[in-house]
Amino acid sequence: MERKNAWLGYGARELKAVDQLAERYKKFISECKTERECVVRAIELAGQKGYKPLEQFVKAGKKLKAGDKIYAHIMGKSLVLFNIGRKPLEEGMTILGAHIDSPRLDLKPNPLYEDNDFVLLDTHYYGGVKKYQWVTLPMALHGTVAFKDGTVRNVVIGEDPSDPVVGVTDLLIHLAKDQMEKKGSVVIEGEDLDIMIGSRPVKGAEKEKELVKKNVLSILKDKYGMDEEDFISAEFEVVPAGPARDMGLDRSMIMGYGHDDRICAYTSLEAFLETDKLDKTGVCLLVDKEEIGSVGATGMHSRFFENCVAELINLCGSYSELTLKRAMSSSRMLSSDVSAGFDPTYASAFEKKNAAYLGRGLCFNKYTGARGKSGSNDAPAEYVAALRSILDENKVSWQISELGKVDQGGGGTIAYILANYGMEVIDSGIAVLNMHAPYEIASKADIYEAVKGYKAFLRNA
């Protein structure tokens, strides 16, 4: 059962809307390349729509009413927004959930060293990556430095056109005989993904050592107030430098860093902020750490979301553990994450009847997992039927898909974690090519259809 290409249904008005949305999204992923940056921008956009911090409501002790708009974040890395609906919370919420972390290189706690007149930063890759894809690219440093005096400073190097860039080197082909005989997984070793950041020494005493490192430390001190020890209490992410760009002579696609999963995070956020007067309380949940198992205080396995819902129930004046459990189990969720877009160059990895295709709209994975559905949430048929009805009634282009052939691999999302509460959850999102590579590819039409679909879900689920 083949789905129609969404582009075929657009008139002049829709094409203009597609392009305008694409420009907003490109700006977002070009400027928000870390979880912290995503949270800051999301709060800024939410504030423009009247959203206020949860602690403000808690301190006031004011009873919640329909239409109240609330947000809360944890450690600046995960964010939840609530639009209070007309129905009691125990009747459930409509939840859009996505993650805002992406594969990257992180600096180690003691990263800086000099070797034969080069200064490098030692890294530890984050998430599932093909390590050979991350070499010979212009890279940028995005970081947060926490100093001992309690001050915190954000640092971005490599994004302004006047900035220098950094990067990982590779061995020239003329000397790569042994390297080229290795398996793809070890062509580049994890410990070899070190970032080159300098090669010019300062003038010093004849026998003085590490003069290039001394020069780099001088630059860091002058520009950012950093000493070498400050790396210990810093979080630096190494990401591809530069903005997302249109791809294709027809400008139908976007190539950029972090589509997984900021493309679903942004479309969820935009749909959420543009939707008001809800029957059920609407939720937009943007979380960290999905790429490494949703662990830690800012991952979906934490109690952050549950605790925020408990606070809302308390603000309604009727908190009980039973009410909290009813609110969670009665909810419906779209766990929004990217899916593997069919690539004709690698057609053998896909089963064509059940693949996701660029340009055919919002895609749904009834289950994900790896081989034999291991680790997946498998959405119930009744919930899938309800979503089909909502999408078709609202003229949303959508498709159903799997993540490649059965024994080829697989993947996961945050869906199974929320499903543990007994709520109805399904994986949905946007098909991308080059998933987990430094530069991924997505269709502008799918971005547009995702926003339409998420709005329809919030109003009707």
Within 8 A by CB and 6+ apart from 81, the residues are: 42, 46, 51, 69, 70, 71, 269, 272, 283, 284, 285
Cα–chain center distance at 273: 18
Instruction: Name the band, by pLDDT with cuts 50, 70 and 90, for residue 205.
Output: low
Mean pLDDT value across residues 156-166: 96
Q: How far apart are CA 377 and CA 381, in angstroms?
A: 12
Q: What is the pLDDT of residues 123-156, one digit of tens each?
A: 999 999 999 999 999 999 999 999 999 999 999 9
pLDDT band at 411 (very low <50, low <70, confident <90, very high): confident
Task: Return d(Cα 375, Cα 342) in angstroms, integer.
Answer: 23
For residue range 170-197, what is the model confidence (pLDDT) as tens digits?
999 999 999 999 999 999 999 999 999 9
| Dihedrals phi, psi of 452, to nearest 5 degrees | -60, -45
Domains by residue range for the chain, with CATH: 6-102+257-460 (3.40.630.10), 104-240 (2.30.250.10)
| Structure confidence at residue 88 as a pLDDT band (50, 70, 90) | very high
Instruction: Tell whether the model's pLDDT for residue 412 goes beyond 90.
Output: no
Q: What are phi and psi of 37, to 5 degrees?
A: -65, -35
DSSP 329-345: HT-EEEEE--EEB--GG
**What proportions of the chain, in percent to the nearest 5, are helix, strand and coil?**
35, 25, 40
Q: What is the pTM of this model?
A: 0.95
Question: pLDDT tens for residues 231-254?
Answer: 999 999 999 999 999 999 999 999
Angle between helices 304-315 and 321-329 in degrees, nearest 10: 120
Q: Rounded to the nearest 5°, which phi and psi values hold at 376? A: -100, 160
Tokens standing for residue 205 = 């005493």
Q: Is 53 left (phi over 0), alpha (psi -120 to 50) or beta?
A: beta
User: For residue 400, what are its two tokens?
Assistant: 């159903």
Q: What tens digit of pLDDT does each residue of 346-390 get?
A: 999 998 999 999 999 999 998 886 777 877 888 899 999 999 999
Residue 29: its H or E element? helix 12-31
User: Is the sign of the CA dihedral 222, 224, 229, 231 positive or negative?
Assistant: negative
Q: Which two tokens stand for residue 220?
A: 């860091």
